[in-house]
Amino acid sequence: MDNLLFLLIKSARPKQWLKNMAIYAALLFSGFFFYQESGQLPYFVIVTFAFFIFCIMTSSIYLVNDIIDIESDRKHPFKKNRPIASGKLPVPIAVFSAITGLTIVFFLSLSLPTFFKILIMAYLGLQILYSTKLKQYAIFDIISIASGFLIRVYAGAVVVNLHMNVWFLLTVISVSLFMAVGKRQSERTLLSQSHVEFARVSLKKYSQRLLDQYTAMFATSTWLTYAIFTFQSYTGQGANLLYEKLPTLYFVLPKTLQSQKLLMLTLPFVIFGVMRYLQLIYEENKGESPEDILLKDKPLLTTVFLWFLVVVFVIYA
């Protein structure tokens, strides 16, 4: 029984929950991270509840995806070891667990705004469509992955009714497309090195030259859209609702250093992060699992941590 539970948790892919952190993006950059309306729960608590719902949702979808892909996964040099593909986790138990998870998601989301429910259904529909059809078609598979990230960001915003800067949304789209292309890049390289026929039909439609072009395009758009976003961002608006009676470091600075565009200080971290991710894709073939890269690569993990600290300091200090 313990072994079965372990296999079920492994199939649910808890590491993939890291992607759901995108739900906090709009809240973090809005300046309302610590804000609480009168008589309501703090924004952070509400968004965390939405994050919890998405974690159950994504884990249930991974189970569904593994059930649908059971035959193709058995032909894959690495995916054949997954619990469902290897036969260690019985399909009926996986089906029951997926249905249970989606049922829990339905009931938990009843207390949240209507638009959040719509986004939950849109995400579920997108993932089912991706698992059954879209991942077999070049370009559409990459766009589908990027759309999943965009839905997460919107879900985190609508649940507390926040506005999002258009350049921020373009940054999210660019980052998600960049990681999706990197995933295809590394997957293609790994299968080529293993001398195994491409199990995913869409991979046959991506030549190395084409993927190189896509990677360069979205790597550039990632740091460029973020640069424009930071240039147009004016900090200290939402944060001042919490600290309006307290002195902040900003007003201690000389006028030479006073700028409402201090968020641009985070740009070097983003540029280094993009360059490091490219290095991992091309030199070490590690782009197939972005969450593993973020958790295991110390330079990239340190960069993300420092970026986060500077963002919090600039917006909330």
* Torsion (CA) 131, 132, 133, 135 in degrees, nearest 10: 30
pLDDT in the model for residue 239: 45
The CATH number for 1-164, chosen from 1.10.3720.10, 1.10.357.140, 1.10.10.10, 3.40.50.1970, is: 1.10.357.140
Cα–Cα distances in Å, from 83 out to 3, 55, 146, 183?
A: 11, 20, 27, 22
**141 CB-near residues (< 8 Å, 6+ apart):** 130, 134, 135, 180, 184, 202
What's the one-letter identity of residue 45?
A: V
pLDDT in the model for residue 113: 92
Q: What is the DSSP string of 244-268?
A: TTS--GGGGS-TTT--TTGGGGGHH
pLDDT in the model for residue 4: 84
User: Under a CB-based contact definition with an 8 Å cutoff, are residues 239 and 245 in contact?
Assistant: no
pLDDT in the model for residue 238: 44
C-alpha 197/C-alpha 200 separation (Å) is 9
**150 CB-near residues (< 8 Å, 6+ apart):** 169, 172, 173, 176
pTM for the full predicted model: 0.84
pLDDT in the model for residue 154: 94
| Boundaries of every domain in the chain | 1-164, 165-317
C-alpha 83/C-alpha 94 separation (Å) is 10
Burial (Cβ within 10 Å: 0-12, 13-18, ≥19) of residue 245: exposed
Cα dihedral across residues 133, 136, 138, 144: positive or negative: positive
pLDDT in the model for residue 86: 86
Give 10-residue mean pLDDT values along the chain (317 residues): 81 89 92 85 94 95 90 78 87 92 94 93 93 86 90 94 89 91 78 57 79 92 94 60 47 58 90 92 70 81 94 86
Burial (Cβ within 10 Å: 0-12, 13-18, ≥19) of residue 50: buried
pLDDT in the model for residue 6: 87
